[in-house]
Amino acid sequence: MARAWERPVGTRDFFGSAMRQRNQIIHAVRNTAKTFGYGEIETPMLEYSRTFQFGLLRDDEERLFRTFDPSGHTLALRPEMTTPVARVAATLLAREPLPLRLMYAAKTYQTPTLRAKQTIEATQAGFECIGDEGLEADAR
């Protein structure tokens, strides 16, 4: 049985030099994003579970941390960032001129597989260029 002062397996506390290093990496990613015209986006940690049905493979979908809201809707901790960013692009930013250049750095969560002990909490940083195609768009 887990003790109240223990952190869950697969998670990590950041402080001191590890925290400074993590912040330096995220800062460098943000600066690179700004240089290439990317704006920062933040999405909720919780999404409706069905949101991920369109972006995840079946094995990945089974690794969602799920819970329920007071109305009984199934929610999930985000396992990755691309799907929530796509949701925002398709709804709140649908009328914005293309291409959309969005950058994020956020915590993600996935249950470990039975075969491998792994981190369940991670920081994912990345860029999404929506509405521009080809290798040249990816390079920008």
Distance CA 140, CA 131 (A): 13
- pLDDT, tens only, 42-82: 999 999 999 888 766 666 777 889 999 999 999 999 999 99
- The torsion region of residue 95 among left (phi > 0), alpha (psi -120 to 50) and beta comes to alpha
Cβ–Cβ < 8 Å for 10, 16:
no
18-139 — its CATH code?
Answer: 3.30.930.10
Q: Where are the alpha helices (DSSP H) in the chain?
A: 16-35, 58-61, 82-90, 134-139
Cβ–Cβ < 8 Å for 131, 100:
yes
Q: Where in the chain are the domains?
A: 18-139
Amino acid symbol at 18: A
- pLDDT, tens only, 1-14: 778 889 888 889 99
Is the pLDDT score of 134 beyond 80? no
| pLDDT at position 111 | 83
